[in-house]
Amino acid sequence: MTAPFTYEDDPDLAGWKRWQFRDATRYNAFLEPLQVRVEGEIARVRMSPRHEHSNMRGDVHGGALLGFMDVALFAAARGFGVLSAGGAVTLDLSAQFIGGGAIGIPLEARIELLRETRNMLFLRGLIVQDDRPTIASFTGTLRKSTPPPDRASERV
């Protein structure tokens, strides 16, 4: 079975990985391609906001930022090596919007893994952009998926 995501060296950004969903008809395509780079305890996840990500003020829409935060948690977890593609669900995502993000300038989520347990990942991050104050802060909890039980053992 082919993995639903690619995670390969980005041909356009040396030292970065490209994390992208193989099915371009899914929500992730609205935000992709994403680039990931892990530097010590921080995973840097980038997206390039386009016009379709803008609000009426011409800034990055809050919904696009929330979507980016959510997807960036998974990309960061993949970068940290604690999660394979599609192996978790978001339990919670809390965000604080601090400033507006500009269209056409890469947004970057800088994420740290606070704790990993057998079933959970606890992460926090900041959304930043070159030459701008911090745009948002966020925390999220991911629940790792567990393999389905063997249905054959349930037969009577």
The predicted-structure confidence for 132-146, as pLDDT tens digits, reads as follows 889 999 999 999 886
Per-residue pLDDT at 4 exceeds 70: no
Point out which residues pair with 90 in neighbouring strands.
Answer: 142
Q: In 3-state terms, what secondary structure has residue 53?
A: helix
Residue 116's pLDDT is 95
Lowest mean per-residue pLDDT among 9-18, 34-43, 69-78, 126-135: 9-18
Q: In 3-state terms, what secondary structure has residue 29?
A: helix
Mean pLDDT over residues 24-37, rounded?
Answer: 78
Per-residue pLDDT at 11 exceeds 90: no
Residue type, 110: R
Q: In 3-state terms, what secondary structure has residue 7?
A: strand
pTM value is: 0.85
Point out which residues pair with 139 in neighbouring strands.
Answer: 94, 124
